[in-house]
Amino acid sequence: MPASQNYEAFFRRSIDDRDAFWAEQAQGVDWHQPYDRVCNYDRPPFARWFEGGLTNLCHNAVDRHLKGRAEQNALIFVSTETNTEKAYSFKELQQEVQRFAAIYQSLGVKKGDRVLIYMPMIAEACFAMLAAVRLGAVHTVVFGGFASHALASRIDDATPTVIVSADAGMRGGKVVPYKHLLDEAIELAGHKPASVVMVNRGLADLAPVAGRDVDYAALREQFLDAQVPCEWVDSTHPSYILYTSGTTGKPKGVQRDTGGYCVALAASMKHIYQGEPGETFFSTSDIGWVVGHSYIIYGPLINGMATIMYEGLPTRPDAGIWWSLVEKYKVSVMFSAPTAARVLKKQDPAYLTQYDLSSLKALFLAGEPLDEPTATWMADAIKKPIIDNYWQTETGWPIMAICNGVEPAPTKFGSPGKAVYGFDVRLIDETTGEEITEPNRKGVIAAEGPLPPGCLQTIWGDDARYVKTYWSSIHGRTMYSTFDWGVKDADGYFFILGRTDDVINVAGHRLGTREIEESISSHPNVAEVAVVGMADQLKGQVAVAFVVLKDASRAADPASAREQEQAIMKTVDEQLGAVARPAMVRFVGTLPKTRSGKLLRRAIQAVCEGRDPGDLTTMDDPAALQQIRDQLA
């Protein structure tokens, strides 16, 4: 159906007539029992959406589509690593999810219990997620690229009853074993899960732990005919926890509700992504990240679309692989990250055009800044609209986008578009806390509460941290901070100018520099360390570490410095995972700090990027910055 509304009016209504607006959007999902109140904001900043309503995410993603599209594709699993391709219809998906739910039940999982999922991109990971929410259990998916320490801290925070994992993932033809990392993590963690469900792909050694590890395939056999009904839960019942990085070393468990999330995703499919039921959605992200949650699993399925889960690289067997899937499965909406586009840009553009892309309506890119040359190259190569959209793990769906499903609007290079309906976005002057109303002046991107449905309810187990972190950083006001800088032009288009905090974005992967610093500090030779993000042509940013050694002579010559660098990188690999490994480690005698001992990260970053640190520092110790310059030379 062509869109024919006025976006400005649509947006205003979402803010000024909030409850009526969202009540309309809520008609897009099934309610077992209607809600009493659209938004309870009696206790700011805690918003309770669709209070009193009973629903279930798995019902909305799977069961309700059995009427009318039972035989249509729901999940299409493609691995170019193991050369596997398998499509599941909605009926088959429901069957697999019920089997998984029965396995959970046999292991004692009940409503509200946590299930931790540490899995590669395989169909069973999708079953494990949907089966958890089917029972009203809360899943927490940990990105498969994280190693034992990162996993252990999440196990201790979420205290799962059951962990689901697999023997290994694969990347670029290489097996990436998971099991020993998981065993190590459980060893390190204070909390011990009662059971571990292992999916055996036959790729790596499993070494089951007696009394704890159970075999997925064997259990599945026992529950082939299982019928496990959806547990109707309160709209505000948590559906999942997804850990993300912040300004401390301790990851934050972003807690999402059920009903609000379901409504927000259903609405976004209509107004932003414009996928129709029966079509195919292809998001190239990973289930370990928020894009994977919202737009590999829940968004497309809630909308009655088939979704592709892809394990492999965008360039293997060749750079045409994604586009061959677009042709084969008639993908209508595709979602990826700018880094992937930059990777493809290095390949022959002929790969992108040798397939029939006529089904494709648009390619959405998010997760990091989209540079103009990449956007232009991509648009020219595939001859489809490239639509940038800006959001965060916290929000679960876009804060800024072009809502072509409401009213078609032009894109502007370098801009993810306008504020999305529901988000009362404001730009705030960092020093005065005042709102910036004139165009093109830089400020912190913030939002007035309540945040719309689908955004984080709180930080798991830590309401105080939620309030302190997100709602207390704007002087004298209770406003949500995105911790991103931005400007808005006279037409209402935003431009994102980077983070205000210590979070960095490496190839679209969000990482906390503090977490990396803590890991490096654990190396016995390290006295002090500063990690900053440095601009990188391909990955957007890379992490760079500056280390003060306890014994400087250990890095006195290039060979020993290289040895130390490798030892430090290995520590990060083992504790956090290769995804967090700094691109380089450099050794200095001292780190630049303020008089009160605070690290001058922004100044270090400026030096790394060849910018003038200017007034970022009231330098007591210019020699410290000079050392950093020398190390980079």
Rg (CA), the chain: 24
169 token code pair: 């993932």
Q: Pick the binder of ligand PRX from 140, 374, 389, 457 (CB under 6 A).
A: 389
* Residue 366 Cβ vs ligand PRX, minimum distance, rounded to whole Å: 4
* Residue 309 Cβ vs ligand PRX, minimum distance, rounded to whole Å: 18
Q: Pick the binder of ligand PRX from 25, 94, 236, 505 (CB under 6 A).
A: 505
38 token code pair: 């659209």
CB nearer to ligand PRX: pick between 320 and 512: 512
236 token code pair: 């505000």
Question: How many Å apart are CA 272 and CA 113, to the nearest integer?
Answer: 33
Q: How far is CA 203 from CA 81, 199, 273, 577, in A?
A: 11, 11, 37, 20
Categorise residue 508: left if φ over 0, alpha if ψ from -120 to 50, beta otherwise: left
Residue 419 is a binding residue for ligand PRX (CB under 6 A) = no
8 A C-beta contact, residue 587 and residue 549: yes
Residue 442 is a binding residue for ligand PRX (CB under 6 A) = no
Find, among 363, 111, 57, 384, the residue nearest to 235 by Cα.
Answer: 57
Sole window of 103-111, 220-228, 272-280, 361-369 interacting with ligand PRX (rule: CB under 6 A): 361-369
Residues 6+ apart with CB under 8 A from 558: none
Taking the alpha carbons of 237, 239, 243, 244 in that order, is the dihedral positive or negative?
Answer: negative
Residue 391 is a binding residue for ligand PRX (CB under 6 A) = yes
8 A C-beta contact, residue 335 and residue 285: yes
Q: Pick the binder of ligand PRX from 73, 392, 541, 617 (CB under 6 A).
A: 392
Provide the pairing of β-strand 138-141 with 114-118: parallel
Question: How many Å apart are CA 78 and CA 84, to the nearest integer?
Answer: 6
Q: Pick the binder of ligand PRX from 368, 502, 518, 565 (CB under 6 A).
A: 368
Alpha carbon 406 to its chain centroid, in Å, reads: 26
User: Which residues in 429-493 belong to E strands, given as ranges?
Assistant: 443-448, 458-459, 479-488
* Residue 531 Cβ vs ligand PRX, minimum distance, rounded to whole Å: 17
Residue 339 is a binding residue for ligand PRX (CB under 6 A) = no
* Residue 245 Cβ vs ligand PRX, minimum distance, rounded to whole Å: 8
Sole window of 65-73, 119-127, 352-360, 382-390 interacting with ligand PRX (rule: CB under 6 A): 382-390
Residue 446 is a binding residue for ligand PRX (CB under 6 A) = no
Residue 393 is a binding residue for ligand PRX (CB under 6 A) = yes
CB nearer to ligand PRX: pick between 244 and 458: 244
Helical segments of 166-320, H only: 179-188, 216-222, 259-268, 290-292, 299-302
Sole window of 15-23, 208-216, 287-295, 302-310 interacting with ligand PRX (rule: CB under 6 A): 287-295
* Residue 371 Cβ vs ligand PRX, minimum distance, rounded to whole Å: 10
Sole window of 114-122, 213-221, 256-264, 289-297 interacting with ligand PRX (rule: CB under 6 A): 289-297
Residue 484 is a binding residue for ligand PRX (CB under 6 A) = yes
Q: Pick the binder of ligand PRX from 26, 129, 137, 290 (CB under 6 A).
A: 290
CB nearer to ligand PRX: pick between 57 and 506: 506
Residue 193 is a binding residue for ligand PRX (CB under 6 A) = no
Residue 244 is a binding residue for ligand PRX (CB under 6 A) = yes
Chain residues binding ligand PRX by CB under 6 A are 244, 289-291, 366-369, 388-393, 416, 482, 484, 496, 499, 505, 510
